[in-house]
Amino acid sequence: MKTGTIIALLFASTCLAQDAAMLAAREANQHAFELFQLFRQMTKGNFCFSPYSGHRVAAMLAEGAKGKTQEELIAMAHLATDAAGRAARASALRQELSVAAGNGLILEVANSIWAPDGHAFLPPFEKLAKEQFGALAHLLPHGDPVGSAALVNRWIRDKTRGRIGSLVGPASFDRNGPTVLVVNAVYLKAAWEERFDPARTKPRVFTQGSGNISQLPTMLQTSMFEYCDSEAWQCLEMRFKGAEFAMRFLLPRAEAGRAAIETALSPAAWDKVVQTSTNCEVNVMLPRFGFSTQLDLKGLWHTLGARDVFEAQKADLTAMVSQTPCWTGQVLHEATIEVNEIGAEATAATTAVDPFGEAPEPPKRRKVSFIANHPFLWVIQHRRTGLILFMGRFAGE
């Protein structure tokens, strides 16, 4: 009887943890698609970002904020309003991700906090940052912008396996008053469950978003994949070895319809696509690609409602540091993506007609073709929780 009770309690505890992880992923994904809607309007070409990386930085800042500053950060990141709920969800999701790596898949999500020597973080915040985010506190040489930038960039290079070499510069520290930093780095490297044969890769025509024609090295294979489609788009899921993570490609059937598809993309629309996928034989033609995107998220956060944290006279970060004024000057973010025959490697240091209006029908054909010879969207996702780690657009330019 006692054994049965223990098993029941362990099962209930596991279910609660999984539920908390799912809720955390849902919060982060809501933020992801809001950022995507802003990103897509900034360029007609390639872009990539890690919404989860930026979300973790917002969450850490929220724990160091008070009053309206905290309220705005919580609302922007769709975090739980109670501290216990935020802690439970963050811990559960970290645990889910930590057990997902393996079988050749490398996933590292690292956080850190930085303050000038002599201006340390408050002990309660430092303890919370370590326990809730795994973030260790580091001291920066006071009055040395060059040395400070070098230390932070070295940490980022280490956590992204050299993929991101230099994110912050001396100007980030050359300010009136001490500069504190909250940094997140995400690194993922994974091999396809079904690899492409490099011998079949050859230059093929790709029509860029601008309409220009180019020749791109294009990979080719035919295998069983999760797939679904509609009259407006096709969606292909390619799993990584171990099957805990997958890369999904959303390909408009015609470039003329891409703007409508991007505009309508939301968590609900994306979930509808993922849930209606079915396993079938797919002839895949996919370009090999790699690029990076770097920008300051400050303007995007401001648009999404986080304003006071950037204003010296309004920011309240007194749960983090005792000095005032203390505010956030920048939210620097860089993401990289590389997709080839072996797999994918990604890093980050922070119309009137709805194309998703009707549930797509499972493909009736025994074999379909997915020919990515024009711009498409892509997402790298943790399959169990649905957490989006990376997303972007490849337009060939």
| Residue 22 reports pLDDT greater than 50 | yes
What topology is assigned to 191-289+351-394 in CATH? Alpha-1-antitrypsin; domain 1 (2.30.39)
pLDDT at position 101: 72
pLDDT at position 366: 63
Degrees to nearest 5, angle at CA 216 with 211 and 218: 120
Q: Provide the pLDDT confidence category of residue 49 given band limits of 50, 70 and 90.
A: very high
Question: How much of the chain, in percent, has pLDDT values that exceed 90?
Answer: 53
Q: Provide the pLDDT confidence category of residue 365 given band limits of 50, 70 and 90.
A: low
Q: Provide the pLDDT confidence category of residue 99 given band limits of 50, 70 and 90.
A: confident
Does 45-190+291-338 match 191-289+351-394 in CATH topology? no
Average confidence score pLDDT of the chain: 86
pLDDT at position 35: 95
The CB density around residue 49, as the number of other CB atoms within 10 Å, is 25
Measured distance between the N- and C-terminal CA atoms of the chain, rounded to whole angstroms: 65
pLDDT at position 173: 77
pLDDT at position 176: 57
Q: What is the mean pLDDT of residues 33-44?
A: 93
pLDDT at position 83: 94
- What are the φ/ψ torsions at residue 186 (nearest 5 degrees)? -125, 130
Q: Provide the pLDDT confidence category of residue 260 given band limits of 50, 70 and 90.
A: very high
pLDDT at position 354: 40
| Residue 7 reports pLDDT greater than 70 | no
The predicted-structure confidence for 166-207, as pLDDT tens digits, reads as follows 888 888 776 655 577 888 888 989 999 999 999 999 999 999
Q: 116-124: which pairs have CB atoms within 8 A and are 24 or more residues apart?
A: 116/140, 116/141, 116/142, 116/143, 116/148, 116/178, 116/179, 116/180, 117/141, 117/142, 118/142, 119/178, 119/180, 119/321, 119/323, 121/64, 121/180, 121/320, 121/321, 122/319, 122/320, 122/321, 122/322, 124/319
Lookup: tokens for 62: 């929220």
DSSP-assigned letters across all residues of 56-113: HHHHHHHHT--HHHHHHHHHHHT--SSHHHHHHHHHHHHHHHHHH-BTTBEEEEEEEE
The predicted-structure confidence for 213-228, as pLDDT tens digits, reads as follows 999 999 999 999 999 9
pLDDT at position 215: 96
Q: How far apart are CA 26 and CA 59, in angstroms?
A: 14
Which strands sit side by side in the sheet containing 343-349, from one edge to the other? 136-140, 106-116, 181-191, 343-349, 332-339, 289-296
pLDDT at position 31: 96
pLDDT at position 174: 65
For residues 56, 59, 60, 66, the Cα torsion angle rounded to the nearest 10 degrees is 170
pLDDT at position 80: 95
Q: What is the mean pLDDT of residues 4-15?
A: 44
pLDDT at position 104: 74
Q: Provide the pLDDT confidence category of residue 351 given band limits of 50, 70 and 90.
A: very low
What topology is assigned to 45-190+291-338 in CATH? Antithrombin; Chain I, domain 2 (3.30.497)
pLDDT at position 11: 38
Residue ranges of the alpha helices (H) in the chain?
2-42, 51-63, 67-77, 83-100, 123-133, 145-159, 258-264, 267-275, 298-303
Which range (34-48, 137-151, 158-172, 345-359) has the least confidence?
345-359
Q: What is the mean pLDDT of residues 324-353?
A: 81
Lookup: tokens for 299: 């303007």
The predicted-structure confidence for 51-91, as pLDDT tens digits, reads as follows 999 999 999 899 999 999 999 999 999 999 999 999 999 88
Q: What is the mean pLDDT of residues 348-353?
A: 59
- Which pTM does this prediction carry? 0.88
pLDDT at position 347: 87
Q: Provide the pLDDT confidence category of residue 14 given band limits of 50, 70 and 90.
A: very low
**Among 100, 257, 279, 283, which residue's Cα sits nearest to residue 200?**
283
Q: Give the start-to-end residue ranges of the domains of the chain.
A: 45-190+291-338, 191-289+351-394
pLDDT at position 164: 86
